[in-house]
Amino acid sequence: MNQKTSVKTRNSKNVPITVLLLIGCITIFFPLYMTIVIAFKKPAEMTNDIMGALKLPMQWSLSNFSEAMQVTDFWHSLLNSMVITLCTVALCVLIHPLAAYAIGRNMKRHKFYKFSYMYLVSGMFVPFAILMMPEAKLTAFFHLTNWAGVIILYVVFYLPMDLMLYTGYLKNVPLSLEEAAYVDGASVWTAYWHIIFPNMKPMHATVAVLAALGAWNDVMTPLILMGGSGSNTLPLAQLNFQSQFSTNYNLAFASYLLALVPILVFYLVCQKQIISGVINGAVK
């Protein structure tokens, strides 16, 4: 009887959760469907009614993609976005775990490190609108109104969240690993790079994905620092499709799909590393 009850419980469906999942899937699928359909439609097929917008293209055309690449100076904008994103990810993965290691391992012994942790993490609660004006003045003062200034600001902006993630993850890395290395004659620097840094691989992947998504899709920071310089990132170049009175949806959506491909590949590669790291941790 108990076995039958257990089987029945396992087979029963949680209706509210299922409904919420369906709503979530539709919410994601609908705009993605609209983006793909409109990107392949010719401008003459665009209509103002919703059924016309949902209708499949009469002839799947790639002309919107080629025109969008010309309007956005695609390869040049893509190169700028890739340089900014890759440099941001590399610096975040190299610098932020170092800060987290120094603070996380000494928080319980020294109040200074605990205060430093609380002070830096509180930066997550400062809205970007408050930072925007000081940021523009400071970067102009140091002559950093270019892609280098954008990278530096991204590394600073992502520090609070990454510090919290790395510090939390370090609690799961036992101190005995470092102590064993010290017994064998390793220095703190050697123990960090050969033991701690490799053990934080799943968190490196998580931080890399978050930093890459933020840097790749951001509009405001490049607009403030690089606007009018003639050197655009992809989100900045896509603003060309919007004017005061109209938006060219065909070219805009085609450009969005082109910009989606590189970051989607990056996400899939890092996602595999995250799952692999979680599985290895579970086996240990």
pLDDT at 275: 58
Rounded Cα distance, 273 and 206, in Å: 9
pLDDT > 50? residue 6: yes
> Considering only CA atoms, which of 121, 109, 85 is closest in space to residue 235?
85
242 confidence band (pLDDT: 50, 70, 90): confident
Instruction: State the average pLDDT over residues 237-266.
Output: 81
* pTM flag (> 0.85): no
pLDDT digits (tens, 9 = 90+) for 112-129: 999 999 999 998 888 887
pLDDT digits (tens, 9 = 90+) for 97-107: 999 999 988 88
pLDDT at 9: 53
282 confidence band (pLDDT: 50, 70, 90): very low
Distance of CA 61 to the CA centre of its chain: 31
Under a CB-based contact definition with an 8 Å cutoff, are residues 221 and 150 in contact?
Answer: yes
Rounded Cα distance, 65 and 68, in Å: 5
- Mean predicted lDDT score pLDDT of the chain: 83
pLDDT > 90? residue 155: yes
pLDDT digits (tens, 9 = 90+) for 184-226: 888 888 988 988 898 888 888 889 888 998 999 888 888 888 8
What is the percentage of the chain residues whose pLDDT exceeds 70?
89
pLDDT at 281: 45
> Considering only CA atoms, which of 207, 183, 205 is closest in space to residue 195?
183
pLDDT > 80? residue 108: yes
8 confidence band (pLDDT: 50, 70, 90): low
Distances (CA, A) of 81 to 85, 148, 211, 212: 6, 12, 13, 10
